[in-house]
Amino acid sequence: MNKLYAILGGTFDPIHYGHILLSKEIIKKLSLKKLFLLPNENPPHKNHIITPILHRINMIKLAILDIPHIEINYTEINQNNNKHYSINTLKKIRKQIGYTLPIALIIGNDNLINFKKWNQWNKILKFSHIIVLQRNNEQVKTIDNEINTFITNNTVKNINFLQQQPQGHIFFFKNTIINISSTKIRKNIKIRKKYSHLIPKSVNDYIKKNKLYINSRFNINNKIIITNNE
């Protein structure tokens, strides 16, 4: 029985085939019960003006319309511009699904270098597993001995362990590396360079209809209202 939930966060500005193909691969190879796409409304680490969350949510909905075992999670939306720490997000999602089902936070292997800077980094495994994705073909090694020990002591090589325990393990997932970025798509749209092959047609139609990414400024105060039937 598939019990594992997983969380894939990002700005999805816009969502593209890299996100979609990766999501499908994770769902299939890890036998997920559900993959939560977790859009961040106002990420503090981004240095460009983020597209209003309503547009990003709508594009995600279009992109995942026919993909089973995947849905949007709104935990990091409408949070009064507060910083979103993974530990707090995990606590909230735990309340949503309960404390006995296995859940995994998905991060890139490049995040391991700065993992000790995360808020309460050493408590993450008390609420979830961690799935580490490949960002490139090179193995990332941290320079912090404490993090290296943390990884060594908690890493498992058998996927089944993620299904058997609710939290506590680190698993390195050998995903297909897809060289697509939202930054490249936004840039190509702005300079009128080809980009439509990088995103679903429904998302491309939405971008054109709403004239997104043509101008460099957005009204970032737009809010999305979350209803109980979402």
Report the percent of the chain where pLDDT is more than 90.
Answer: 76
The answer to whether residues 183 and 176 touch, using CB atoms and an 8 Å cutoff, is no
* Cβ neighbours of 57 (radius 10 Å): 21
pLDDT confidence of residue 15: 98
Q: Which residue stretches of the chain are H helix?
A: 17-29, 53-63, 86-97, 145-154, 160-164, 182-190, 201-210
Residue 134 predicted with pLDDT over 80: yes
The model carries a pTM of 0.89
Residue 5 predicted with pLDDT over 80: yes
pLDDT confidence of residue 2: 75
Report the percent of the chain where pLDDT is more than 70.
Answer: 85
Average pLDDT over residues 179-203: 95
pLDDT confidence of residue 229: 32
Domains and CATH numbers, the chain: 5-210 (3.40.50.620)
pLDDT confidence of residue 185: 97
Interatomic CA distance for residues 107 and 135, integer angstroms:
10
> What is the residue-averaged pLDDT of the chain?
88
